[in-house]
Amino acid sequence: MSRLTETRPQRLKIAETQMEMRTDSASGQSPLSEDFEGKLHAAQIELEKLRQQQESIERQKLELQELNERKEEFIHGQNDISDRLTSALTAIDRELFEMRQEMQDLEQTRQCFAEHQKKIDEISPNNWTREELKNQLDRAISMLDHAEDEYEEAMQHFAGSRRAGVFSAKKKTSISSSGSSEFGASFKQGLAFNLPLIILGLLALAAYWMK
């Protein structure tokens, strides 16, 4: 009897344990299932983080690509405008240098012409006496020739510039040559006028010698 009595409580305890396990299984999930779901949830969270990181990297990559394209456009524009500015500055500097040189030449030419103008205006042929006529005339003609020579030189110097219109294209006239021309013309006129008389004189002379 005592052995039977001792065996029954043990069987009852085993049965109670089995009932508790069934109750736990029926009422909730097992610890193994809970652990798997937790790991799965953590993995999903990690995947979401990785996806967001990948999207962020892609955005940064696109932004960097766009920035590089804009940088290339800027470098191209920078080189283009720099070349054009350099070329323009070189041309402007050359133009300014030529203009300054031209202005200096014009200023020197003006001073030279002003001096000649003053000297020529001071010449008064009507005030020359008979004794000084030859010397004064030679001196005045020399001054006039000098002025005309420098005028011709200035006109040739500025011929290819924008200031060429300042100078008239009248050619130099030499007083000495014009005087010779006038003498030659007078001589020809006198010869033509007296030619008949000369011929008659020669004929009369020939008739006289033939007698």
pLDDT in tens, the chain (211 residues): 444 444 454 554 554 555 555 544 444 556 677 777 888 888 899 999 999 999 999 999 999 999 999 999 999 999 999 999 999 999 999 999 999 999 999 999 999 999 999 999 999 999 989 888 999 999 999 999 999 999 999 989 888 887 778 887 665 555 544 444 454 555 455 545 555 556 655 555 555 556 5
Is 53 within a domain? yes
Is 4 within a domain? no
User: And the tokens for 105?
Assistant: 């030449």
Query: pTM score, two decimals?
Result: 0.49
How many domains are contained in the chain?
1
Is 12 within a domain? no
Angle at 75 between CA 70 and CA 77, to 5 degrees: 90
How many CA atoms lie within 13 Å of 74's alpha carbon, on the beta-carbon side?
Answer: 6
Please tell me the predicted confidence (pLDDT) of residue 17.
52
Find the domain containing 74 and state its range: 35-163
| Residue 158 to residue 107: CA distance in whole angstroms | 13
Angle at 72 between CA 66 and CA 75, to 5 degrees: 140
Is 15 within a domain? no
Please tell me the predicted confidence (pLDDT) of residue 162.
78
Q: Where are the alpha helices (DSSP H) in 28-132?
A: 31-121
Is 116 within a domain? yes
Is 50 within a domain? yes
Please tell me the predicted confidence (pLDDT) of residue 38.
82
Is 127 within a domain? yes
Q: What is the largest CA-CA distance in the chain?
A: 222
Is 184 within a domain? no
